[in-house]
């Protein structure tokens, strides 16, 4: 990046630095201490639109956590990350696009790990190093046309202007991202792709509706597989820092492991994402918890998936977004 961009570049959390250093995800059980964040305000996050006392409690239990690293582990991560930043140059972001993001977009919400812009920038950094075949700009912009919880950084009437600031591929992937995200959490797309693993190369195109305005859009089969790799990278930033087996009912963990397996079996995982199932204990090692948050870990994964699908259907229904899609096989 240019000097001006580097000066304002966010400093990633150690969890994000670890993902960039490791080229994937690791269960950091034994390397971290995790504590609930007191007085955490869910209404300052992208989950502000979530309704219902129980769903809000479950979501808050999962994200309202602060991670503290053992000193020697943090030092190793920092040293490795510094070497990467010294040796790998990040792409420059055009001044016109930066101006558009500042003047026309509102990212005034928080993420589980810092600001929402920090979350976007993590994906940009990760893809620069670990998904070199495709543009990292998609991950910087992936939620600009909507999140899974009906928050929108920009208005639909600004879409033509955005389209002039990035190339055709980046726009196609960016406009599709919120829709494909919802289809993954809805579950039907993952099931259909699994049912057709024997003919993945026959996937000609997919048609679905754009979240922000319900416009019918389409992608080629090749673009869809690329999009699913972007989605895999995206979910990295939502995984529990540690104790995966104890958090096996975490929605993001469920979707990540299923999508990873799907892309592996389809022979379509092109993004470099290291992942090995956790060998750690199924106990909450080094993690403080209340009785309520402990009970959340006991929710069956199948129930979590059904609840996530129901929530996505509700979010789309509220804004008149059609979750129907059609895959064309050749």
Could you read off the pLDDT of 166-212 as tens digits, one per residue?
999 999 999 999 999 999 999 999 999 999 999 999 999 999 999 99
- Which two three-digit tokens encode residue 31? 């390397």
Tens of pLDDT, residue by residue over 73-121, are 999 999 999 999 999 899 999 999 999 988 898 876 544 555 778 889 9
Burial class (CB in 10 A: 0-12, 13-18, 19+), 112: buried
pLDDT of residue 17 exceeding 60, the answer is: yes
Tell me the pLDDT tens digit for each residue of 132-154: 999 999 999 999 999 998 989 99
Write the DSSP assignment of 108-157 as a string of letters: --EETTEEHHHHHHHHHHHHHHH-TTS-THHHHHTTTT--TTS--SS-GG
Split at pLDDT 50, 70, 90, the class of 8 is low
**Residue-wise DSSP of 154-193:** S-GGGHHHHHHHS-HHHHHHHHHHHHHHHHHHHSHHHHHH
Structure confidence at residue 281 (pLDDT): 75
Question: What is each CA distance from 204 to 201, 207, 221, 259, in whole angstroms?
Answer: 8, 10, 5, 20
How far apart CA 20 and CA 11 sit, in angstroms, is 12
Read off the pLDDT of residues 30-58 as tens digits, 9 standing for 90 and up: 999 999 888 888 877 777 877 887 778 77
- Confidence bin at 297 (pLDDT 50/70/90): confident
Cα(187)–Cα(176) distance, integer angstroms: 17
The whole-chain average pLDDT of the chain stands at 90
First to last CA, the chain: 42
Closest C-alpha among 145, 158, 252, 276 to residue 209:
145
Distance CA 46, CA 235 (A): 15
Strand partners, 115: 110
Percent of the chain with pLDDT over 70: 95
């Amino acid at each position: 990046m240019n000097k001006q961009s580097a000066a304002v570049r966010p400093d990633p959390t150690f969890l994000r630095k670890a993902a960039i250093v490791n080229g994937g995800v690791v269960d950091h059980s034994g390397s971290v201490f995790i504590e609930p964040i007191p007085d955490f305000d869910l209404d300052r996050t992208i989950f502000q639109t979530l309704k219902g006392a129980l769903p809000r409690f479950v979501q808050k239990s999962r994200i309202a956590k602060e991670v503290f690293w053992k000193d020697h582990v943090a030092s190793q991560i920092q040293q490795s990350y510094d070497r990467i930043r010294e040796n790998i140059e990040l792409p420059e972001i055009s001044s016109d696009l930066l101006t558009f993001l500042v003047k026309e977009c509102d990212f005034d919400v928080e993420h589980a790990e810092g600001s929402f812009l920090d979350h976007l920038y993590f994906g940009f950094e990760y893809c620069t190093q670990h998904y070199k075949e495709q543009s990292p700009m998609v991950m910087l912009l992936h939620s600009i046309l909507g999140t899974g919880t009906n928050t929108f950084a920009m208005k639909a009437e600004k879409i033509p202007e955005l389209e002039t600031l990035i190339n055709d591929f980046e726009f196609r992937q960016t406009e599709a991202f919120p829709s494909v995200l919802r289809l993954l959490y809805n579950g039907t797309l993952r099931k259909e792709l699994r049912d057709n693993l024997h003919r993945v190369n026959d996937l000609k195109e997919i048609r679905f509706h754009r979240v922000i305005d319900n416009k019918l859009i389409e992608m080629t089969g090749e673009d869809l597989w690329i999009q699913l790799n972007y989605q895999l990278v995206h979910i990295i930033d939502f995984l529990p820092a540690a104790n995966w087996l104890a958090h096996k009912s975490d929605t993001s963990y469920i979707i990540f492991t299923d999508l990873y397996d799907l892309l592996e079996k389809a022979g379509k995982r092109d993004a470099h994402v290291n992942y090995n199932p956790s060998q750690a204990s199924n106990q909450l090692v080094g993690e403080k918890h209340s009785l309520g948050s402990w009970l959340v870990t006991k929710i069956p994964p199948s129930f979590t998936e059904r609840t996530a699908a129901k929530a996505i259907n509700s979010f789309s229904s509220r804004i008149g977004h059609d979750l129907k899609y059609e895959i064309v096989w050749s």
